[in-house]
Amino acid sequence: MFQVVLVLALAGILVLLFKKFHLVASQGGAKDGLAVKTPLSAKIQDKQKKREEALKKKLELEKALERVRSLKRKGEIEKAEKVLLKLLSLFPQRAEVFYELGLLYLEQKKYKNAISALKTAIRRDSENGFFYHALGLAYLKSKDYRRAAENFDKALHFNNKIAYRWADLALALIGLERFKEAREAIKQALEVEPHNVRYRAILESVERKIH
Protein backbone atom coordinates (compact mmCIF):
# COMPACT_ATOMS: atom_id res chain seq x y z
CA MET A 1 0.00 0.00 0.00
CA PHE A 2 2.78 2.35 0.93
CA GLN A 3 4.48 1.66 -2.39
CA VAL A 4 1.31 2.56 -4.33
CA VAL A 5 1.01 5.87 -2.51
CA LEU A 6 4.67 6.60 -3.17
CA VAL A 7 4.28 5.90 -6.90
CA LEU A 8 1.22 8.18 -7.12
CA ALA A 9 3.08 10.95 -5.31
CA LEU A 10 6.02 10.67 -7.67
CA ALA A 11 3.68 10.72 -10.65
CA GLY A 12 2.07 13.94 -9.37
CA ILE A 13 5.45 15.58 -8.91
CA LEU A 14 6.45 14.63 -12.46
CA VAL A 15 3.24 16.14 -13.83
CA LEU A 16 3.86 19.40 -11.99
CA LEU A 17 7.47 19.52 -13.19
CA PHE A 18 6.34 18.88 -16.77
CA LYS A 19 3.78 21.71 -16.65
CA LYS A 20 6.33 24.12 -15.20
CA PHE A 21 8.93 23.18 -17.81
CA HIS A 22 6.38 23.56 -20.62
CA LEU A 23 5.38 27.03 -19.36
CA VAL A 24 9.00 28.23 -19.22
CA ALA A 25 9.69 26.83 -22.69
CA SER A 26 6.62 28.61 -24.08
CA GLN A 27 7.76 31.92 -22.59
CA GLY A 28 11.24 31.39 -23.98
CA GLY A 29 9.75 30.61 -27.36
CA ALA A 30 7.78 33.85 -27.27
CA LYS A 31 10.99 35.76 -26.64
CA ASP A 32 12.67 33.98 -29.54
CA GLY A 33 9.72 34.66 -31.83
CA LEU A 34 8.71 31.00 -31.88
CA ALA A 35 5.43 31.26 -29.99
CA VAL A 36 2.16 30.59 -31.80
CA LYS A 37 0.45 33.84 -32.89
CA THR A 38 -2.53 34.87 -30.82
CA PRO A 39 -5.57 36.36 -32.59
CA LEU A 40 -4.67 39.79 -31.17
CA SER A 41 -1.06 39.73 -32.35
CA ALA A 42 -2.14 38.50 -35.78
CA LYS A 43 -4.61 41.40 -36.03
CA ILE A 44 -1.93 43.94 -35.08
CA GLN A 45 0.49 42.50 -37.63
CA ASP A 46 -2.20 42.57 -40.31
CA LYS A 47 -2.89 46.27 -39.62
CA GLN A 48 0.82 47.03 -39.74
CA LYS A 49 1.14 45.22 -43.06
CA LYS A 50 -1.79 47.18 -44.52
CA ARG A 51 -0.25 50.48 -43.38
CA GLU A 52 3.05 49.55 -44.99
CA GLU A 53 1.32 48.60 -48.25
CA ALA A 54 -0.66 51.88 -48.26
CA LEU A 55 2.53 53.89 -47.69
CA LYS A 56 4.28 52.00 -50.48
CA LYS A 57 1.42 52.74 -52.91
CA LYS A 58 1.41 56.42 -51.90
CA LEU A 59 5.13 56.73 -52.59
CA GLU A 60 4.71 54.96 -55.93
CA LEU A 61 1.91 57.37 -56.89
CA GLU A 62 3.91 60.45 -55.87
CA LYS A 63 6.86 59.24 -57.93
CA ALA A 64 4.62 58.63 -60.96
CA LEU A 65 3.00 62.07 -60.68
CA GLU A 66 6.41 63.71 -60.46
CA ARG A 67 7.30 61.91 -63.69
CA VAL A 68 4.13 63.34 -65.28
CA ARG A 69 5.15 66.87 -64.25
CA SER A 70 8.64 66.29 -65.59
CA LEU A 71 7.25 65.13 -68.94
CA LYS A 72 5.02 68.21 -69.10
CA ARG A 73 7.99 70.50 -68.44
CA LYS A 74 9.80 68.83 -71.33
CA GLY A 75 6.77 69.31 -73.58
CA GLU A 76 6.13 65.57 -73.85
CA ILE A 77 2.39 65.97 -73.37
CA GLU A 78 1.28 62.74 -75.04
CA LYS A 79 3.58 60.66 -72.84
CA ALA A 80 2.33 62.49 -69.76
CA GLU A 81 -1.26 61.76 -70.74
CA LYS A 82 -0.51 58.05 -71.23
CA VAL A 83 1.04 57.84 -67.77
CA LEU A 84 -1.97 59.57 -66.21
CA LEU A 85 -4.48 57.33 -67.96
CA LYS A 86 -2.58 54.29 -66.70
CA LEU A 87 -2.57 55.75 -63.19
CA LEU A 88 -6.35 56.18 -63.37
CA SER A 89 -6.73 52.42 -63.78
CA LEU A 90 -4.36 51.77 -60.86
CA PHE A 91 -5.60 54.51 -58.52
CA PRO A 92 -9.24 55.25 -59.51
CA GLN A 93 -10.03 56.81 -56.13
CA ARG A 94 -7.10 59.21 -55.91
CA ALA A 95 -8.16 62.81 -56.48
CA GLU A 96 -4.68 64.05 -57.37
CA VAL A 97 -4.56 61.86 -60.49
CA PHE A 98 -7.76 63.45 -61.85
CA TYR A 99 -6.41 66.89 -60.88
CA GLU A 100 -3.20 66.40 -62.85
CA LEU A 101 -5.20 65.09 -65.79
CA GLY A 102 -7.45 68.15 -65.62
CA LEU A 103 -4.41 70.46 -65.66
CA LEU A 104 -3.06 68.59 -68.66
CA TYR A 105 -6.33 69.03 -70.56
CA LEU A 106 -6.31 72.72 -69.64
CA GLU A 107 -2.90 73.10 -71.27
CA GLN A 108 -4.20 71.29 -74.35
CA LYS A 109 -7.27 73.59 -74.41
CA LYS A 110 -9.56 70.56 -74.07
CA TYR A 111 -11.80 72.41 -71.68
CA LYS A 112 -14.71 69.95 -71.57
CA ASN A 113 -12.33 67.12 -70.69
CA ALA A 114 -10.64 69.33 -68.12
CA ILE A 115 -13.96 70.17 -66.48
CA SER A 116 -14.93 66.50 -66.32
CA ALA A 117 -11.59 65.44 -64.79
CA LEU A 118 -11.54 68.28 -62.27
CA LYS A 119 -15.12 67.66 -61.16
CA THR A 120 -14.15 64.07 -60.46
CA ALA A 121 -11.14 65.27 -58.45
CA ILE A 122 -13.46 67.42 -56.33
CA ARG A 123 -15.84 64.50 -55.79
CA ARG A 124 -12.87 62.53 -54.46
CA ASP A 125 -11.63 65.44 -52.31
CA SER A 126 -13.90 68.44 -51.77
CA GLU A 127 -11.52 70.22 -49.38
CA ASN A 128 -8.80 71.30 -51.80
CA GLY A 129 -8.75 74.90 -53.00
CA PHE A 130 -6.41 74.16 -55.91
CA PHE A 131 -8.98 71.80 -57.41
CA TYR A 132 -11.68 74.49 -57.35
CA HIS A 133 -9.37 77.10 -58.80
CA ALA A 134 -8.36 74.82 -61.68
CA LEU A 135 -12.03 74.08 -62.37
CA GLY A 136 -12.70 77.82 -62.32
CA LEU A 137 -9.98 78.30 -64.93
CA ALA A 138 -11.54 75.66 -67.17
CA TYR A 139 -14.89 77.45 -66.96
CA LEU A 140 -13.21 80.83 -67.52
CA LYS A 141 -11.54 79.56 -70.69
CA SER A 142 -14.92 78.18 -71.76
CA LYS A 143 -16.42 81.65 -71.17
CA ASP A 144 -18.79 80.26 -68.58
CA TYR A 145 -18.12 83.22 -66.31
CA ARG A 146 -20.77 82.44 -63.71
CA ARG A 147 -19.42 78.99 -62.92
CA ALA A 148 -15.88 80.32 -63.10
CA ALA A 149 -16.66 82.97 -60.48
CA GLU A 150 -18.38 80.39 -58.25
CA ASN A 151 -15.35 78.11 -58.26
CA PHE A 152 -12.82 80.92 -57.76
CA ASP A 153 -14.88 82.03 -54.79
CA LYS A 154 -14.77 78.50 -53.35
CA ALA A 155 -11.00 78.38 -53.85
CA LEU A 156 -10.65 81.66 -51.93
CA HIS A 157 -12.62 80.14 -49.08
CA PHE A 158 -9.68 77.79 -48.47
CA ASN A 159 -6.97 80.44 -48.86
CA ASN A 160 -7.61 84.12 -49.58
CA LYS A 161 -3.94 85.09 -49.49
CA ILE A 162 -3.17 83.80 -52.98
CA ALA A 163 -3.14 86.77 -55.34
CA TYR A 164 -3.92 84.98 -58.60
CA ARG A 165 -7.14 83.57 -57.15
CA TRP A 166 -8.41 87.11 -56.65
CA ALA A 167 -7.16 88.17 -60.08
CA ASP A 168 -8.91 85.29 -61.83
CA LEU A 169 -12.09 86.03 -59.89
CA ALA A 170 -11.84 89.61 -61.13
CA LEU A 171 -11.61 88.38 -64.74
CA ALA A 172 -14.71 86.21 -64.28
CA LEU A 173 -16.59 89.16 -62.78
CA ILE A 174 -15.52 91.35 -65.70
CA GLY A 175 -16.97 88.72 -68.02
CA LEU A 176 -20.23 89.02 -66.06
CA GLU A 177 -19.99 92.85 -66.32
CA ARG A 178 -19.96 93.11 -62.54
CA PHE A 179 -17.26 95.74 -62.72
CA LYS A 180 -17.43 97.15 -59.20
CA GLU A 181 -17.06 93.68 -57.70
CA ALA A 182 -14.24 92.99 -60.15
CA ARG A 183 -12.49 96.16 -58.96
CA GLU A 184 -12.66 95.01 -55.35
CA ALA A 185 -11.36 91.57 -56.28
CA ILE A 186 -8.35 92.91 -58.19
CA LYS A 187 -7.61 95.30 -55.34
CA GLN A 188 -7.41 92.26 -53.05
CA ALA A 189 -4.91 90.70 -55.47
CA LEU A 190 -2.83 93.89 -55.33
CA GLU A 191 -2.86 93.83 -51.55
CA VAL A 192 -1.08 90.48 -51.70
CA GLU A 193 1.20 91.46 -54.64
CA PRO A 194 1.27 95.28 -54.76
CA HIS A 195 3.92 95.46 -57.50
CA ASN A 196 2.27 93.11 -59.97
CA VAL A 197 2.10 94.98 -63.29
CA ARG A 198 -0.58 92.72 -64.76
CA TYR A 199 -2.91 93.19 -61.81
CA ARG A 200 -2.40 96.95 -61.95
CA ALA A 201 -3.37 96.93 -65.65
CA ILE A 202 -6.55 94.95 -64.87
CA LEU A 203 -7.49 97.47 -62.17
CA GLU A 204 -7.01 100.40 -64.54
CA SER A 205 -9.09 98.67 -67.21
CA VAL A 206 -11.93 97.98 -64.74
CA GLU A 207 -11.90 101.54 -63.43
CA ARG A 208 -12.27 102.88 -66.97
CA LYS A 209 -15.36 100.69 -67.44
CA ILE A 210 -16.89 102.01 -64.22
CA HIS A 211 -16.26 105.64 -65.10
In a domain, 192, yes or no: yes
Q: How confident is the model at residue 53 (pLDDT cuts 50, 70, 90)?
A: low
Q: Say yes or no to pLDDT of 171 above 70.
A: yes
Q: Which runs of E-coded beta strand occur in 2-121?
A: none
Render pLDDT for 92-134 as a digit per residue (tens, 0 to 9).
999 999 999 999 999 999 999 999 999 999 999 999 999 999 9
Q: Which of 144, 168, 189 is where one domain is finished?
A: 144
In a domain, 168, yes or no: yes
Shared domain for 114 and 170, answered yes or no, is no
pLDDT winner (highest mean) among 32-41, 54-63, 95-104: 95-104
Query: Of 165, 155, 154, nearest to 192 (Cα)?
Result: 165
Question: Residue 117 is part of which domain span?
Answer: 62-144
Q: What's the pLDDT score for residue 23?
A: 41
